[in-house]
Amino acid sequence: MKYIPTQDYSFLLDENHYVYDHVEDEDSLHIYIKSKEHGCKCPLCEKMNTKLHATYRKKYQDTPIHCKQTFLHANVYKYDCENRDCECKVFMEDLPFAKASFSLSDLL
Ligand SMILES: [Zn+2]
């Protein structure tokens, strides 16, 4: 092996997300990310919610790491807003890396 692969991708993450796998080949790097179960604030009413609605997979293209095209595969949580008066019934959790990355597709 030419170099030692790093497993420290913590710069992409916050305390609620972790990397559970990564696959590297000649010209691309795939990083697999999961959420820990955690409460999430509704973006509309800002109530803290813990009721999971579903998980789904999303794929992001990130800026190259080690000069390789980098893809983030994330298992993302959706939450039900538990506030009955809120118009937002289901919302997606906030992802620390999603704002800076480009979402390729919904895989579900
Ligand atoms: Zn709400």
- Residue 57 Cα to ligand 1 middle (Å): 23
Opening angle at CA 10, ends 1 and 44, nearest 5 = 145
Domain annotation covers residue 5 = no
Total domains present in the chain: 1
Summarised one tens digit per residue, pLDDT across range 58-89 is: 888 888 877 899 999 999 899 999 999 999 99
Residue type, 50: T
- Residue 14 Cα to ligand 1 middle (Å): 23
What percentage of the chain has pLDDT greater than the value 90? 41
Domain annotation covers residue 100 = yes
Domain annotation covers residue 4 = no
- Sign of dihedral through CA atoms 99, 44, 33, 30? negative
- Residue 92 Cα to ligand 1 middle (Å): 12
Domain annotation covers residue 97 = yes
Q: Which domain holds residue 28?
A: 10-106
**What Rg do the C-alpha atoms of the chain give, in angstroms?**
16
Domain annotation covers residue 3 = no
